[in-house]
C-alpha cells in the first residue's frame, strides 16, 4: 500500500509542475473559448493564415475541463487537477504490476514508467489518455469490470486522439493469449466494451469527426515527418534512454518466460515508439503487464510483506515526496522562462498585437500568444499541424531555415512585425535588409519591423 502511495505522489509531483508546455497553452486557451462561447469551435479562431479552416478540436473535453477548473480555482487548482490525474496514472501502473507479486518485480517496471513520465508527461490531454490506457489494460487483465470501458473510451475519444492505441493494446494481448494456446475471453470482453465506448464517443459536440481524426492525421505523413514528436527517437533524450532500459528488461523477461502475450505487445508498441517518439509514453505502459508477469518470483521480498524496515523506508520516501509536492505548489503556476516574454511585452506595448497588424512568430511563441490574447491573437502558424494546409508548414519551415524567398513569403502575407529567435538565420536576413529594421532585441529574441508600409500585393496568405 505504501509503495502504491509512493507511485501516486511521484505521479502527482510530475503533473503538478508549473505549466510550461506550449501545446498546453493552446489547449487552455481553447477551453476558455468553449467556456465563454458555450460551443466548441469548428473552424480556426487563432490564425490569419488559415482563418475559417475546418478544425477538429479532438481534445475539447479536457480543454473545457481545464478552463472550468481554472475559472473556479485559478491556475493553482488546475495544477492540482493535472497532478491528481498524473498521480492516478502512477497508482494504476503500480496496480498493473500486481502479477509480479514480489517487491522487486513491481518496483522495476513502475519505476521505469515513472522515470520516463518524469520527462514526458505534461499537462497535455495525453495524460488523461494514459490514465484510461491503464484502465483498459486492467480490464484486459480481468482486474476491472470491462463494462467500465464504455464511459472510459467515451471520455478518451473526446479527450485525445490516442484512443485507437487502447484498442490496439487490448487486441495485442488477445492475440498473444491466443498464440499461447489459451482462449482470450477476458481480452475479447474488454475489446467489445471498449469498441462500444469508442462508437459512443460520437455523441458529443464534435460528433463523428472525432473517430475519423486519427485516420486523417496519419494520412498526412508529408507534414508529420517534419514535427519533432512525430519523428523517430535518436535516443539523445533521457526518457528515450530509460525506455531502452525498459526494452532490455522486457526482452530479458521474454527470454526467461517466453510468452506471446508479452511478445506481441512488445513488438507492436516498440515499432510504434521507434516510428514516433510521442508513442514512447504509451509503449512504456503497455509493456508493464508482460514485464510484471515475467518477473513473478524474482526477489525474496513479497510486495505484501510488512517488515518494519520496508514500512519505514516507504514512509520516509512518502514523506519526502509529500513535502516536495507541497513546496512545488508554492512556485508560480506558469513557467515562461523559455519564452520571449519581454519581446512579446514590447510588441504589445507598441500596439503591434492589435487588430490590423500581422505578426510572424515561431509556433511556440504563437501558442503563448494564444494563451495571452485568446481568439484575438491572430498568429501566422502554431503547432496544430493537423489543421494547417501542408503548404503553410512548408512555408514556415522555409522561414525557420532562412531559405531564399523569405521576403516574398513575408510580403505575400503582409507581415509587418516579426518576433523571432535571435539565433535563427531569418534574424540575420532581416537585419541586412533595407526593408526591415531590428526594433528590439534581448538575449533570446529579436523583433523586426518594416521600414516602410507593407507592399500592396495580392494577399495570397
Domain containing 43: what range? 2-329
pLDDT of 323 reads 65
Nearest to 22 by CA among 347, 444, 334, 376: 334
pLDDT of 389 reads 86
Per-residue pLDDT tens digits for 3-15 = 788 899 899 999 9
Residue 306 inside a domain? The answer is: yes
Mean local confidence (pLDDT), 75-89: 96
- Residue 368 and residue 288 in one domain: no
pLDDT of 213 reads 84
On whether the CB atoms of residues 229 and 363 are closer than 8 A, the answer is: no
- The residues with which 360 forms a beta bridge, in sequence order, are 418
- Residue 285 and residue 416 in one domain: no
Q: Is the pLDDT of residue 303 over 60?
A: no
Average pLDDT of every residue of the chain: 90
Q: Is the pLDDT of residue 391 over 60?
A: yes
Mean local confidence (pLDDT), 292-296: 89
Q: Give the cell for residue 213.
A: 481524426
pLDDT of 309 reads 60
Residue 23 inside a domain? The answer is: yes
Instruction: Kindly state the DSSP code that residue 18 receives in the 8-state scheme.
Output: P
- Residue 235 and residue 133 in one domain: yes
pLDDT of 88 reads 96
Which distant-in-sequence residues (6+ apart) come within 8 Å of 220 by Cβ?
385, 386, 390
Mean local confidence (pLDDT), 204-216: 88
- Residue 279 and residue 348 in one domain: no
CA–CA dist 279, 212 (Å, integer) = 19
- Residue 169 and residue 289 in one domain: yes
Q: Is the pLDDT of residue 73 over 90?
A: yes
- Residue 291 and residue 377 in one domain: no
pLDDT of 1 reads 66
Q: Is the pLDDT of residue 117 over 70?
A: yes
Number of domains in the chain: 2
Residue 335 inside a domain? The answer is: no
Query: Of the given ranges (24-33, 306-315, 429-438), which has the lowest mean pLDDT?
Result: 306-315
- Residue 115 and residue 228 in one domain: yes
Model confidence at 451, pLDDT cuts 50, 70, 90, reads confident
- Residue 309 and residue 355 in one domain: no
CA–CA dist 376, 385 (Å, integer) = 20
pLDDT of 98 reads 93
Q: Is the pLDDT of residue 326 over 80?
A: no
Residue 455 inside a domain? The answer is: no
- Residue 41 and residue 138 in one domain: yes
Percent of the residues in the chain that have a pLDDT greater than 90, as a whole number: 74
Q: Give the cell for residue 204.
A: 458529443
Residue 457 inside a domain? The answer is: no
Percent of the residues in the chain that have a pLDDT greater than 70, as a whole number: 89
Residue 459 inside a domain? The answer is: no
Query: Of the given ranges (98-107, 302-311, 352-361), which has the lowest mean pLDDT?
Result: 302-311
Buried b / exposed e along 288-315 (16+ C-beta atoms within 10 A): bbbbbbbbeeebeeebeeeeeeeeeebe
Model confidence at 301, pLDDT cuts 50, 70, 90, reads low
CA distances in angstroms from 22 to 4, 224, 280, 377, 460, listed in the order given: 31, 18, 20, 15, 28
Q: Is the pLDDT of residue 237 over 60?
A: yes
Q: Is the dihedral of CA 150, 156, 159, 164 positive or negative?
A: negative
Greatest mean pLDDT range, 159-163, 275-279, 347-351:
159-163
Query: Of the given ranges (150-164, 212-226, 413-427, 442-456), which has the lowest mean pLDDT?
Result: 212-226
297 compared with 202, residue with greater pLDDT: 202
Nearest to 194 by CA among 166, 161, 162: 166
- Residue ranges of alpha helices (H) inside 51-125 are 60-96, 103-120
- Residue 320 and residue 369 in one domain: no
Residue 82 inside a domain? The answer is: yes
- Residue 234 and residue 114 in one domain: yes
Mean local confidence (pLDDT), 191-217: 92
Q: Is the pLDDT of residue 458 over 70?
A: no
Out of 329, 351, 377, a domain closes at 329
Mean local confidence (pLDDT), 128-137: 98
Buried b / exposed e along 414-451 (16+ C-beta atoms within 10 A): bbbbbbbbeebebbebbeeeeebeebbbeeebbbbbbe
- Residue 72 and residue 134 in one domain: yes
Residue 398 inside a domain? The answer is: yes
Mean local confidence (pLDDT), 82-101: 95
Amino acid at each position: 500500500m505504501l509503495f502504491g502511495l509512493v507511485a501516486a505522489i511521484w505521479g502527482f509531483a510530475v503533473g503538478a509542475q508549473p505549466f510550461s508546455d506550449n501545446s498546453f497553452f493552446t489547449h487552455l486557451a481553447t477551453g476558455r473559448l468553449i467556456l465563454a462561447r458555450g460551443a466548441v469551435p469548428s473552424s480556426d479562431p487563432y490564425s490569419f493564415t488559415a482563418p475559417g479552416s475546418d478544425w477538429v478540436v479532438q481534445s475539447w473535453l479536457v480543454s473545457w475541463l481545464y478552463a472550468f477548473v481554472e475559472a473556479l480555482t485559478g491556475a493553482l487548482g488546475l495544477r492540482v487537477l493535472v497532478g491528481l490525474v498524473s498521480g492516478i496514472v502512477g497508482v494504476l501502473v503500480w496496480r498493473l504490476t500486481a502479477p509480479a507479486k514480489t517487491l522487486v518485480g513491481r518496483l522495476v517496471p513502475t519505476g521505469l514508467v515513472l522515470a520516463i513520465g518524469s520527462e514526458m508527461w505534461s499537462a497535455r490531454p495525453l495524460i488523461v489518455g494514459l490514465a484510461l490506457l491503464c484502465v483498459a489494460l486492467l480490464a484486459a487483465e480481468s482486474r476491472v469490470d470491462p463494462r467500465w470501458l464504455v464511459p472510459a473510451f467515451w471520455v478518451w475519444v473526446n479527450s485525445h486522439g490516442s484512443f485507437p492505441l487502447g484498442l490496439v493494446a487490448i487486441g495485442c494481448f488477445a492475440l498473444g493469449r491466443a498464440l499461447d494456446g489459451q482462449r482470450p475471453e477476458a481480452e475479447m470482453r474488454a475489446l467489445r466494451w471498449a469498441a462500444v465506448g469508442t462508437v459512443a464517443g460520437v455523441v458529443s459536440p464534435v460528433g463523428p469527426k472525432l473517430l475519423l481524426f486519427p485516420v486523417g492525421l496519419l494520412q498526412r505523413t508529408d507534414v508529420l515527418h517534419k514535427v519533432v514528436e512525430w519523428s523517430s527517437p535518436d535516443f539523445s533524450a533521457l526518457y528515450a534512454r530509460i525506455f531502452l532500459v525498459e526494452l532490455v528488461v522486457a526482452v530479458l523477461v521474454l527470454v526467461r518466460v517466453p510468452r506471446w502475450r508479452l511478445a506481441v505487445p512488445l513488438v507492436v508498441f516498440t515499432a510504434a515508439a521507434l516510428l514516433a517518439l510521442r508513442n514512447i509514453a504509451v509503449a512504456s505502459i503497455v509493456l508493464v503487464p508482460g514485464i510484471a508477469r515475467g518477473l513473478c518470483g524474482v526477489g525474496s521480498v513479497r510486495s505484501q510483506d510488512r517488515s518494519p524496515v520496508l514500512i519505514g523506508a516507504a514512509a520516509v520516501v512518502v514523506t519526502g515526496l509529500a513535502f516536495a509536492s507541497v513546496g512545488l505548489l508554492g512556485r508560480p503556476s506558469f513557467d515562461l522562462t523559455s519564452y520571449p516574454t519581454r519581446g512579446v511585452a514590447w510588441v504589445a506595448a507598441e500596439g503591434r498585437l492589435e487588430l490590423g497588424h500581422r505578426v510572424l512568430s515561431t509556433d511556440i511563441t504563437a501558442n503563448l500568444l494564444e494563451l495571452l490574447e485568446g481568439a484575438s491573437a491572430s498568429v501566422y502558424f502554431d503547432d496544430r499541424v493537423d489543421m494547417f494546409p501542408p503548404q503553410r508548414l512548408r512555408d514556415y519551415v522555409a522561414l525557420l531555415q532562412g531559405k531564399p524567398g523569405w521576403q516574398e513569403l513575408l510580403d505575400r502575407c503582409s507581415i509587418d512585425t516579426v518576433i523571432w529567435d535571435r539565433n535563427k538565420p531569418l534574424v540575420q536576413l532581416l537585419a541586412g535588409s533595407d526593408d526591415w529594421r531590428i526594433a528590439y532585441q534581448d538575449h533570446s529574441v529579436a523583433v523586426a519591423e518594416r521600414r516602410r508600409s507593407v507592399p500592396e500585393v495580392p494577399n495570397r496568405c
